[in-house]
Amino acid sequence: MSEANRELQKNDFVFDPFGLNDDLSSVASPQPPPQVNRLTRSNEKKSTNGAISVVSTSSMTLPPRLVVKFRAHEEVSSVASSEEGEGGSSHVQIEGKISAQVTSSDARKNVPFCLIATNLAEDNIRFLPNEKYVVDTTRSLPKHAMSLIHIPKNEYAAVTIGSYSLIEAVQHMPLLVERKVTVHSSTVRVAVQVRSKLTNRGDLKDFTIAVAVPDRINGDTVEVIRGSGIYDDLKRTIKWSVNDLLKGESFMVSAQAQLFPTSTNEEGDQLKFPVLLRCSSNDDQISTVEFRAVETEEYPSSVSFSRSFSFRLLNRLP
């Protein structure tokens, strides 16, 4: 090494970014940049001459992001209250199935999540998980937890993760069924009105309404006066069919008939026309059950979820 180069090496402020000295190095040449990405953090130390050197790099892996899409379908049998002022309250019995679809930021696997179910009444939900997707855990689960669910990465579509059942009193049904019976002399008229709530998520469809005709009514005189109804003399029922009902709207069906001559007006005032209604929805829910997906300490993740519902309802008005 020449005397000039040795003198340059002693000088800390020599700028030689291309390493043109004889020994191909310079104390003042810039260091290569540290390898940094969003999953790592670098501990850097700045020297007295302003150069930055990487002391150590520690990797901190973020937990995977899990997105769960719930879909619940409910088969509902309900008895509407016939008392005044009940505001559409019904006693319902529900048999439901819940499915889930999982997507994860981890390209290799899906981590398990905890299924939580609560309702507004009492904690009377009976849940039967699909054992195919249940994970046994040695740690305690959160309150209201139904099961620890693991859906494998190769399950791309929604899969059924369990079924549930409960009985509760629902104060706000998606629809309100009203019946009115009027008697004038020997003529009896019955009308049934169905209203869909404006707060429903979607429309109702596939309506079938059946009204039972009491024995004191002369079946030969039954006449449908509103709606496309058909009277079945053998079953003594009047049946109407309606394709759909937009949310917030209503429709009415009605019929009239004559009392037998032996029946009095007092007997006519006490006539009961039981109503049986069936309909379905692809957007709404009958029960007050709320499903959630949460992470557990055993399987940390960042969980988000969404819920959708459908139901098929068989409603009775005694």
Q: Each residue of 21-31: pLDDT tens digit?
A: 555 444 555 55
Q: How confident is the model at residue 5 (pLDDT cuts 50, 70, 90)?
A: low
Q: Which of 77-86, 125-134, 266-275, 304-313 has the lowest mean pLDDT?
A: 77-86
Least confident segment among 88-97, 195-204, 210-219:
88-97
pLDDT band at 33 (very low <50, low <70, confident <90, very high): low
pLDDT value of position 235: 94
The answer to whether residue 303 scores a pLDDT higher than 90 is yes
State whether 166 and 289 are in the same domain: yes
Question: Is residue 103 domain-shared with residue 150, that is, in the same domain?
Answer: yes
Q: What is the pTM of this model?
A: 0.74
The answer on 141 and 269 residing in a single domain is no
Give the chain's end-to-end CA distance (angstroms, integer): 109
User: Which tops the pLDDT comparison, 20 or 259?
Assistant: 259
User: Both 264 and 216 in a single domain?
Assistant: yes
Whether residue 143 is predicted with pLDDT greater than 60 in this model: the reply is yes
- Residues 277, 179, single domain; the answer is yes
Could you tell me if 252 and 107 lie in one domain? no
Question: Does 279 have pLDDT greater than 90?
Answer: yes
Three-class SS state of 265: helix
80, part of any domain: yes
- 293-311 burial, b at 16+ Cβ within 10 Å, e below that, comes to bbbbeebebebebebebbb
Structural domain total, the chain? 2
Least confident of 6-15, 227-236, 267-276, 293-302: 6-15
| Segments forming the whole domain that contains residue 233 | 175-281
Same domain, yes or no: 130 and 151:
yes
Provide the pLDDT confidence category of residue 172 given band limits of 50, 70 and 90: confident
Evaluate whether residue 21 is within a structural domain: no
The reply to whether 108 falls in a domain is: yes
Q: In this structure, is residue 165 part of a structural domain?
A: yes
Residue 43 domain flag: no
Q: Does residue 132 fall inside a structural domain?
A: yes
Query: What is the phi-psi region of residue 248: left when phi exceeds 0, alpha when psi lies from -120 to 50, beta otherwise?
Result: left
CATH code, domain carrying 217: 2.60.40.1170
CATH of the domain at 159: 2.60.40
- 211-249 burial, b if ≥16 CB within 10 A, otherwise e? bebbebbeeeebebeebebebeeeeebbbbebeebebee
- Mean pLDDT on 41-68: 60
Given this model, what pLDDT does residue 90 score?
A: 85
